[in-house]
Amino acid sequence: MTPVAGRDLEASVSPNASGTAALLALQVAIHNISNVGVSLRVSTNDHATLEAFDDLLLSLKLPGKQQPSIVFCRVRYRARVTDGVLYVCEYDWSATMDPLAVVEDLVGYMLDAEDQS
């Protein structure tokens, strides 16, 4: 499925780690989202906190859903952009709780977004 812009989505990430790092919840902007991965725009300050972690926990608030979708992901690439750092991430479905429900919600969101464009 083709990635869609997810600029209207609320999202945050936490390092998938133990200790105090796991308590962090840093706001991110969704650049693009698909059924296999997501690209996130992270502020320069938050990148300084996250750059040591390749495994992240993404909390994603999809329209019409009461609870955020929680998805484990792995950072595959980072690139500096004018307003921060772009994180290109691949979902880790084996670590995500109820991955089929999350995929269903993501695909529904992407189809709705595609219809509106």
The whole model's pTM is what?
0.89
C-alpha torsion sign, points 2, 85, 77, 99: negative
pLDDT at 24: 83
Find out whether 49 and 3 touch, Cβ atoms under 8 Å: no
Answer yes or no: are the C-beta atoms of 91 and 71 closer than 8 Å.
yes
CA distance 94 to 116: 31
CATH numeric code, 4-116: 2.40.10.220
- The tokens for 25 are 């919840």
- pLDDT, one tens digit per residue, over 50-98 is 999 999 999 999 988 889 999 999 999 999 999 899 999 999 999 999 9
Q: Where are the domains of the chain?
A: 4-116
pLDDT higher than 70, residue 1: no
Q: Do 29 and 7 contact (CB within 8 A), yes or no?
A: yes
